[in-house]
Amino acid sequence: MNIALLASGKGSNVKNILSFFKENNDGNKICLIATNNPNSPVRDYALGYQTPSVLFTKQELNKEGYLIDLMESYQIDLVVLAGFLLMIPIDFIKHFKGKIINIHPSLLPKYGGKGMYGDHVHRAVLKNNESTSGITFHYVNENYDEGEIISQFEVSLSQEETLASLKHKIDVLEKTHYPLVISSISNE
Ligand code: GAR
């Protein structure tokens, strides 16, 4: 499969996925890194792995057909969101139905929806004294964080859990499982 990664932030998942597919010759190739954030390091990571990258504005993203044309020009089979924070246009979701996946740092449907990303999610989990949290992989549909769930991975939380310790637990899960989830989808 030809895979595109879309990210808006610090890009640690992008870096991890690039490294995994460089080392594992399973027939999958990261063919494109795309971001809306000029300050994200993901374009540098792309360069380091000799992978094409694109920076687009929110306006470009929302132009009808923009993302479809971009993905088709790289013959992309699977679009992987890794901390991508802009709303994906509906025309693209319809066109690429079943071919866009996302990672969310909680056990959906808990702590999902608009505004729930990164530390906002973890702070809400801690505030509610949850005894577990985790990560969810899901297909992307028209509603934030509501697409069909692919898989979830859970961790126990202690009474002394802090933002930093919770983030670390989630990070370990994300780095362990995202490349494997992508790889397993391609084998279906
Ligand atoms: C990850 O924890 C991912 O689960 C989360 O953003 C972070 C991106 O980190 N995604 C969401 O919250 C989506 N709602 P990264 O930029 O270092 O990969």
State the Cα–Cα distance between residues 100 and 34, nearest whole angstrom: 14
pLDDT band at 27 (very low <50, low <70, confident <90, very high): confident
**Ligand 1 — pocket residues by CB below 6 A?**
7, 9-13, 82-83, 103-105, 117-118, 121, 174
What pTM was computed for the model?
0.96
pLDDT(187) > 90: no
Indicate which residue's Cα is closest to atom 6 of ligand 1.
Answer: 83
Question: Relative to the CA of 105, which ligand 1 atom is closest?
Answer: 4
Q: What is the mean pLDDT of the chain?
A: 96
> What mean pLDDT comes out for the span 12-39?
95
Q: How many angstroms is it from 158 CA to the middle of ligand 1?
A: 22
Taken in order of first residue, the domains within the chain and their CATH numbers are: 2-186 (3.40.50.170)
Amino acid occupying residue 87: M
State the Cα–Cα distance between residues 15 and 47, nearest whole angstrom: 11
Q: How many angstroms is it from 104 CA to the middle of ligand 1?
A: 7
pLDDT(188) > 80: no
Tell me: the pLDDT tens digits for 111-166? 999 889 999 999 999 999 999 999 999 999 988 899 999 999 999 999 999 999 99
Nearest to 104 by CA among 88, 93, 120, 91: 120
**Alpha-carbon dihedral of residues 113, 72, 70, 180, nearest 10 degrees?**
50
Q: How many angstroms is it from 159 CA to the middle of ligand 1?
A: 24
Amino acid occupying residue 11: G
Best residue among 12, 140, 155 to mutate for probing ligand 1, ranked by most atoms within 8 Å of CB: 12
Contacts of 13 (CB under 8 A, 6+ apart): 7, 82, 83, 103, 174, 175, 178
> What mean pLDDT comes out for the span 166-179?
98
pLDDT(32) > 80: yes
Q: How many angstroms is it from 50 CA to the middle of ligand 1?
A: 23
pLDDT band at 186 (very low <50, low <70, confident <90, very high): confident
Amino acid occupying residue 69: D
Residue with tokens 């069909």: 148
CB atoms within 10 A of CB 41: 17
pLDDT(110) > 90: yes
Nearest to 119 by CA among 109, 111, 110, 129: 111
Structural tokens at position 75:
């013959």
Q: What 3-state class would DSSP assign to 110?
A: coil
pLDDT band at 60 (very low <50, low <70, confident <90, very high): very high
> What mean pLDDT comes out for the span 82-104?
95
pLDDT(107) > 80: yes
| Residue spans of alpha helices (H) in 74-128 | 90-95, 119-127
Question: Relative to the CA of 118, which ligand 1 atom is closest?
Answer: 12
Indicate which residue's Cα is closest to atom 17 of ligand 1.
Answer: 12
pLDDT > 70 fraction of the chain, expressed in percent and rounded: 99
pLDDT > 90 fraction of the chain, expressed in percent and rounded: 93
State the Cα–Cα distance between residues 37 and 42, nearest whole angstrom: 9
State the Cα–Cα distance between residues 151 and 67, nearest whole angstrom: 26
